């Protein structure tokens, strides 16, 4: 009887302790999905929190999303990077993370990545990911947009880990794109198989062009050596020494004109930017932003 009682108490204690033990590395920060504007219903919000938390723990990589009203005049990418750091994300085994942040005041979006994400989410992958969620944002289907972002992020994290061998069957193909970009079999390389093929072809083309051009130049020089009779159209050798005198030397300003060229701004949806940058604390990030 005593033995049964002891086991029962032990089982009870285990049930009480287990959730805390399982969540021990994850319960000290805010949720991985936050809606400060109230775009989503409570049920949708709860589903997204569960989705983002689940992916983050599975991949050991913080996949985060947030809805805010205003960027407080900040650059969208910088705001997203600072938000990510200030909320304490990116510390899961120090592997970094990715965040999608939208600001409703001027309908800005930004998604940025850091740490391990700098290798996973290359420019091509970022463009692909953007095309996954942006169409939903544009029609105000926020739940679908965040879901697409989360599932797309997980897909690429797994694809990267598997060395590019993962089938893309489950990933939706965004409009205007053929297929998800594949990673090379060598996980250390940041080039996809297609990029590698293009690089090989490009190098071969350049090699052949040089192989045509270099002998052409050499042979042209050798041919030119055979010709030494050329008329002399000037008489520089016969200028009387010291005879040059400048009596008139005037430089008269006539007019000026100013041409203004807008700096190039890269964004698929207008007004955004992409590429690597530093957060306010100096962390390295990469990402894209724009309007929706």
**274-278, strands of its sheet edge to edge:** 33-35, 62-68, 96-103, 108-115, 284-291, 274-278
CB of 27 or CB of 233, closer to another protein? 233
Q: Is 135 helix (H, G, I), strand (E, B) or coil?
A: helix
Q: Computed from CA positions of residues 265, 269, 272, 275, in that sequence, does the dihedral angle turn out positive or negative?
A: negative
Q: How far is the CB of 129 from another protein (least distance, A)?
A: 23
- Token pair listed for 35: 């809606």
Per-position x/- string for 209-228, each x denoting binding to another protein as judged by CB under 8 A, each - no binding: -xxx-xxx-xx--xx-xxxx
CB of 186 or CB of 280, closer to another protein? 186
Q: How far is the CB of 106 from another protein (least distance, A)?
A: 17
Q: How far is the CB of 124 from another protein (least distance, A)?
A: 16
Look at residues 18, 99, 15, 100 and name the one whose alpha carbon lies nearest to residue 61: 99
Return the residues of window 148-207 that contact another protein according to CB under 8 A: 184, 186, 189, 191, 196, 199-200, 203-204, 206-207
CB of 11 or CB of 211, closer to another protein? 211
Please report the DSSP string for 16-29 in residue order: HHHHHHHTTTTSSS
- Token pair listed for 245: 């005198």
Q: Residue 105 in contact with residue 76, Cβ under 8 Å?
A: no
Look at residues 119, 195, 115 and name the one whose alpha carbon lies nearest to residue 161: 119
CB of 170 or CB of 223, closer to another protein? 223
Q: How far is the CB of 72 from another protein (least distance, A)?
A: 18
Gap between the Cα atoms of 160 and 98, Å rounded = 15
CB atoms within 10 A of CB 218: 10
CB of 139 or CB of 203, closer to another protein? 203
Candidates 2, 3, 43, 230; binder of another protein (CB under 8 A) is 230
Q: How far is the CB of 223 from another protein (least distance, A)?
A: 6
Q: Is 183 helix (H, G, I), strand (E, B) or coil?
A: coil
Using CB under 8 A as the binding rule, whether residue 73 contacts another protein is answered as: no
How many residues touch another protein (CB under 8 A)?
59
Candidates 233, 270, 281, 282; binder of another protein (CB under 8 A) is 233
Gap between the Cα atoms of 5 and 12, Å rounded = 11
Q: How far is the CB of 242 from another protein (least distance, A)?
A: 9
Binding site for another protein (CB under 8 A): 184, 186, 189, 191, 196, 199-200, 203-204, 206-208, 210-212, 214-216, 218-219, 222-223, 225-240, 243-263
């Amino acid at each position: 009887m005593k033995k049964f009682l002891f086991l029962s108490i032990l089982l009870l204690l285990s049930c009480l302790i287990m959730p805390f033990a399982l969540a021990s590395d994850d319960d000290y920060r805010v949720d991985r999905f936050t809606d400060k504007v109230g775009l989503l219903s409570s049920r949708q919000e709860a589903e997204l929190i569960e989705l983002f938390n689940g992916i983050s723990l599975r991949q050991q990589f913080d996949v985060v999303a947030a809805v805010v009203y205003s960027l407080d005049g900040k650059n969208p990418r910088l705001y997203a990077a600072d938000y990510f750091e200030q909320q304490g994300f990116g510390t899961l085994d120090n592997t970094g993370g990715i965040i999608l942040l939208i600001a409703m005041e001027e309908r800005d979006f930004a998604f940025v990545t850091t740490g391990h994400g700098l290798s996973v989410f290359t420019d091509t992958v970022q463009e692909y990911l953007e095309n996954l969620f942006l169409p939903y944002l544009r029609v105000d289907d926020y739940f679908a947009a965040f879901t697409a972002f989360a599932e797309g992020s997980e897909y690429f994290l797994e694809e990267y880990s598997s060395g590019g061998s993962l089938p893309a069957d489950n990933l939706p193909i965004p409009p205007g794109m053929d297929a998800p970009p594949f990673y090379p079999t060598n996980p250390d390389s940041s080039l996809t198989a297609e990029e590698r093929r293009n690089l090989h072809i490009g190098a071969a083309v350049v090699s052949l062009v040089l192989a045509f051009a270099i002998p052409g130049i050499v042979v042209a020089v050798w041919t030119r050596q055979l010709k030494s009779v050329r008329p002399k159209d000037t008489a520089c050798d016969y200028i009387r020494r010291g005879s040059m005198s400048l009596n008139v030397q005037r430089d008269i300003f006539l007019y000026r004109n100013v041409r203004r060229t807008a700096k190039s701004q890269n964004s698929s949806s207008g007004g955004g930017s992409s590429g690597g940058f530093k957060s306010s604390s100096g962390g390295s990030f990469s990402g894209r932003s724009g309007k929706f």
